[in-house]
Amino acid sequence: MKTFLSTLLFTLMSVSLMAQTPATLKLNLEKGKTYTVKTVTKQTMQQGVSGQSMVANVLANHVISFKLLGREKDVLELEVRFDTVVNKISAPGYSKETSSAQPGKDPLERLQNKMSLYPLNAKFSTAGKFVAFSNLNEYKTNVMLFIDSLPDSKKDDAKKQADMLLKESALKSSIEPLFAHLTEKPVNLNDSWESSYVTSVSDISFLVFNTYILKAVENGQAVLTASSEIESMPSSNSSVKIEQPIKGSATFDIRVDLATGMIATQSEKSKMEGSMTVSNGGTDYKVDLKIEAQAETNLMK
């Protein structure tokens, strides 16, 4: 009985100590190894224009890979590849699907295909925050070669699409949300920390405030919950004017791999609402927006 009680006491003490051991969260990728992240997003967007309402459903399937090229102190340089980008939009009387897997005939597909062929090098802090691109001009030059394969009648529109997707802010916004913003300091269970960053969608920038909470450490993973508050900023596009700030919120359930600091799994639910005025051909249209989305992100083995 004494032996049993001693063993039980030792076990309980060990579990207690394990629960109190702080977790250290930071990016620590293995050089030369490729880490592939898949995100599937389902979005419902309701637009109201001149009293008419339309609902569009968007399904996005994106596969992006990262490889560590080098590290200097607390900054990692990663090779980023947009392996697969598939987007499908469905609305009454309209349906369109684009995929980067093949060059295709659509200018957007050709652009996305070229984007998938070349590496984009990005620097991130070990806290998972974007620092800078190190070969952005070279990347843009290589991708823009797709313009030469288009008929003259499509080149102007293709350049406008390329200008939007190849902006530093747009490229940053495609990859930064795939990393949790970590503290780099040891954290205990139920500790929380905050971070903020700017993301961009279709020439509209959004300020995002995140709050993370460490809920558990198990099986080599940190279990986090997170919430975000999102608000639009003034648009840099003269044809878009924000009438009512587009505000939103999101909640996350996240598992972070302790060995690498990469998100192993993430479930997200978000909603946004607001209004803006869009100028098209000299005519202004007020657009009311309501957007709901859910997304699943997984680090592929």
Over residues 41-97, the pLDDT tens digits come to 999 999 888 778 889 999 999 999 999 999 999 999 999 999 999 999 999 888 999
pLDDT digits (tens, 9 = 90+) for 113-132: 999 999 999 999 999 999 99
Question: Which of the four pLDDT bands, split at 50, 70 and 90, describes residue 6?
Answer: low
According to the model, what pLDDT value does residue 203 have? 73
- 23-300 is classed CATH 2.60.120: no
Neighbouring CB atoms inside 10 A of 10's CB total 10
According to the model, what pLDDT value does residue 279 have? 78
Q: Is the pLDDT of residue 35 over 90?
A: yes
For the residues 182-207, what does the mean pLDDT come to?
A: 88
Domain ranges of the chain: 23-300
